[in-house]
């Protein structure tokens, strides 16, 4: 697709005196800005930095540049104070959008900038034998969207679910099961029962410290591979995965690997040996640490006094394994911001071990979820199950479909797409780093800037295109969208505003990939949906003039495709009828 910003930069750089002032095409491109007010143009070139080279005021330089820029690319060029404001020809931009979307289809907005490079994205990573609650949705949908975006940019993406299937909590669970559990209870309701055991363990441990000692001993036995502890752990893991798979299926989430913490249990010996050989390990009260005080990162605990390993040991082992197994260009971890120190510590340890790829390990943090009226905790059992959230969203949508009398032959499927789409969209609407409070009313509110609103815009565009095709067929013609259009019919305010947003989509996707920020796409597709609504209401689309109708339907089809592609990156499906 034509890059009008770069073409503008080239024209500016070619003006007399620009080379002597140090302004080549790349420099001009970097200086060009996008005005916040579209009335100030499509791009603006500030002239302050040229004052010394040209020995003129920035205002005078802007006036000279505005008068010297050649025509052909612009509807208008004007200088406002020290800025040169350029207005790209509306017909050129609209024709380019129609051509590019028609050509690229489901790939519109993507690129091959990441071709030939492999990226690992680790996300979701729930703990085995604990409920898949609303707190897990952030890592799950943010990580999935990042994976989708990077694939759309041409990267080969390996999606890893680093299950929390190892650690002292399993010693606690094994102890709880032995003390007051039963196989019959677990088989009847696995996750709910295991959660109850976990909560009961912590309640009893407050008055019976022997439970903690017994739990530590049970985990140590698990690490040694003792048969009974190993069998219980495998059973808990299998039962948990059954429930996780149901939730992932509802969300449309996929993984290439479920290699969790336990996968690296036989790979930590090598890490310990390397740390020892590199002189990084120190003794501290019977435990072993890596002292990172010199880097402002404190002391990293590598093994406890009983010799058992910790998260940090396993993360180092996992990173080494992944580099050797996948030869990644980036190793991305979508994990809550509260783990920031942990990631800084183990990545610094990998660097100190002499691995130059340590800087390719990237922690992508996100804000935490809290409950409206209380603190969420698996230890107390105060959680909101994610499956319940998704199920309730679908049921609420069914009620709305019935109340509004929506005509559809696929009410169940439509309700699923809209209900689950609403939950995912809301999660991805705000900047990922922001904390937020889970509120049932907000999650299930479909008004305003929501997923259902954007989905409805897609369905409205699809309906408009069907109606256009029916009208053309009834008139004995065919409303083909395969040929060129007359873009002069798309130069009105509402049409051009919509075309510009569609034109900007590839840049937004690229920025979202660079910043690992899906909310950029969520907000942009909301803008496209709102602009389409303005176009739909302000323009007479199905006119008697065949050329005008053809051009306007082509723009509607571009909006439909842009919305579909954007929502697909977020993991939200689109219903054809709403």
DSSP, residue by residue, 140-209: HHHHHHHHHHHHHTT-EEEEE---B--SHHHHHHHHHHHHH--HHHHHHSHHHHHHHHHHHHHHHHTT-T
Give the dihedral sign, CA 525/526/527/533: positive
Quick check: is 434 catalytic?
no
In this structure, are 470 and 353 located in the same domain? no
pLDDT tens sequence across 506-560: 999 999 999 999 999 999 999 999 999 999 999 999 999 999 999 999 999 999 9
Please check whether residues 461 and 366 belong to one and the same domain.
no
337 and 221 assigned to the same domain: yes
Other CB atoms within 10 Å distance of the CB of residue 447: 7
Is 128 in the same domain as 197? yes
What average pLDDT values come out for the chain (578 residues) when binned by 10 residues? 96 96 96 93 96 95 96 94 96 96 97 98 90 87 98 98 88 94 90 89 93 92 91 91 91 95 90 96 93 97 84 94 98 96 98 98 92 55 78 90 75 92 92 84 75 94 92 56 81 95 98 98 97 95 94 97 98 92
pLDDT, residue 93, reads 97
pLDDT for 71 equals 85
Catalytic-labelled residue, pool 133, 323, 330, 363: 133
Residues 21 and 140 in one domain: no
The answer to whether position 531 is within a domain reads yes
In angstroms, the CA 326 to CA 120 distance is 8
User: Residue 540 corresponds to which tokens in the numbers above?
Assistant: 């007479």
Please check whether residue 334 lies inside any domain of the structure. yes
In a domain, 136, yes or no: yes
Out of 5, 90, 136, 524, the active site residue is: 136
Cβ-based neighbours of 353, under 8 Å, separated by 6 or more? 274, 275, 278, 280, 316
Q: Is residue 110 part of a domain?
A: no
User: What pLDDT score was predicted for residue 478?
Assistant: 45
* Active-site entry in 90, 130, 323, 564: 130
Closest CA to 454 of 300, 292, 324, 573: 573
> At 544, which CATH number?
1.10.730.10
133 lies in the same domain as 65: no
Give domain status of residue 516, yes or no.
yes
In a domain, 472, yes or no: yes
- Other CB atoms within 10 A of residue 356 CB: 8
Nearest alpha carbon to residue 42 among 98, 3, 82, 14: 3
In a domain? residue 408: no
Position 382 scores a pLDDT of 58
Please indicate, yes or no, whether residues 68 and 126 belong to a single structural domain of this protein.
no
Report pLDDT for 477.
47
Same domain, 78 and 122: no
pLDDT reported for residue 440: 67
Active site (annotated) includes residue 136: yes
Could you tell me if 498 and 558 lie in one domain?
A: yes
For the record, the structure tokens of 56 come out as 């003129």
Structurally, the chain folds into a number of domains equal to 3
Are residues 563 and 448 located together in one domain of the fold? yes
- Look up the domain containing 342 and give its range: 118-263+326-371
pLDDT of 475: 57
């Amino acid at each position: 697709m034509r890059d009008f910003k770069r073409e503008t930069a080239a024209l500016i750089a070619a003006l007399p005196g620009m080379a002597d002032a140090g302004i080549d095409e790349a420099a001009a491109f970097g200086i060009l800005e996008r005005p916040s007010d579209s009335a100030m143009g499509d791009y603006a070139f500030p002239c302050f930095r040229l004052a010394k080279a040209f020995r003129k005021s920035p205002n005078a330089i802007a006036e000279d540049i505005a008068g010297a820029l050649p025509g052909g690319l612009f509807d208008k060029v004007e200088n406002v104070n020290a800025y040169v404001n350029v207005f790209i020809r509306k017909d050129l931009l609209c024709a380019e959008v129609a051509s590019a979307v028609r050509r690229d289809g489901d790939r519109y907005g993507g690129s091959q900038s990441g071709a030939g490079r492999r990226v690992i994205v680790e996300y979701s990573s729930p703990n085995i034998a604990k409920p898949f609650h609303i707190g897990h949705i952030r890592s799950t949908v943010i990580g999935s969207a990042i994976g989708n975006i990077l694939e759309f940019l041409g990267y080969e993406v390996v999606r890893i679910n680093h299950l929390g299937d190892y650690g002292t909590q399993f010693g606690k669970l094994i102890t709880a099961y032995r003390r007051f559990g039963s196989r019959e209870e677990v088989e009847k309701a696995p996750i709910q029962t295991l959660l109850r055991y976990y909560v009961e363990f912590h309640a009893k441990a407050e008055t019976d410290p022997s439970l903690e000692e017994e739990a530590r001993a049970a985990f140590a036995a698990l690490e040694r591979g003792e048969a009974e502890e190993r069998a219980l752990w495998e059973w808990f893991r299998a039962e948990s995965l059954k429930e996780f798979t149901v939730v992932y299926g509802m969300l449309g989430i996929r993984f290439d690997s479920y290699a969790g913490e336990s996968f690296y249990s036989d790979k930590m010996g090598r890490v310990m040996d390397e740390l020892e050989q590199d002189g990084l390990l120190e003794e501290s009260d019977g435990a072993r640490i890596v002292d990172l005080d010199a880097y402002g990162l404190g002391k990293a605990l590598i093994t406890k006094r009983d010799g058992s390993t910790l998260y940090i040991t396993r993360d180092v082992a996992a990173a080494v394994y992944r580099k050797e197994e996948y030869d990644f260009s980036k190793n991305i971890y979508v994990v809550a911001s509260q783990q920031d120190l942990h990631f800084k510590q183990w990545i610094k340890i990998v660097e100190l071990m002499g691995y130059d790829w340590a800087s390719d390990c990237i922690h992508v943090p996100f804000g935490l979820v809290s409950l409206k009226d209380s603190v969420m905790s698996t230890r107390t059992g105060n959680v909101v199950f994610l499956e319940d959230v998704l199920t309730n969203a679908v049921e609420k949508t069914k009620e709305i479909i019935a109340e509004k009398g929506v005509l559809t032959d696929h009410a169940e499927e439509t309700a699923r797409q809209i209900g689950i789409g609403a939950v995912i969209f809301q999660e991805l609407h705000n900047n990922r780093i922001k904390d937020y409070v889970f509120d049932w009313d907000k999650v299930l509110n479909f008004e305003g800037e929501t997923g259902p609103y954007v989905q409805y815009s897609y369905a409205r565009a699809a309906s408009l295109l069907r109606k256009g095709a029916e009208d053309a067929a009834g008139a004995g013609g065919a409303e083909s969208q395969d040929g060129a259009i007359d873009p002069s019919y798309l130069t009105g305010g509402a049409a051009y505003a919509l075309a510009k947003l569609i034109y900007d989509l590839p840049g937004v996707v690229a920025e979202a990939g660079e910043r690992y920020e899906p909310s950029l796409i969520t907000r942009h597709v909301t803008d496209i949906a709102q602009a389409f609504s303005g176009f739909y209401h302000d323009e007479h689309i199905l006119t008697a003039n065949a050329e005008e109708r053809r051009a306007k339907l082509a723009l509607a089809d571009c909006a439909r495709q842009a919305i579909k592609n954007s929502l697909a990156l977020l993991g939200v499906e689109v219903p054809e009828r709403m």
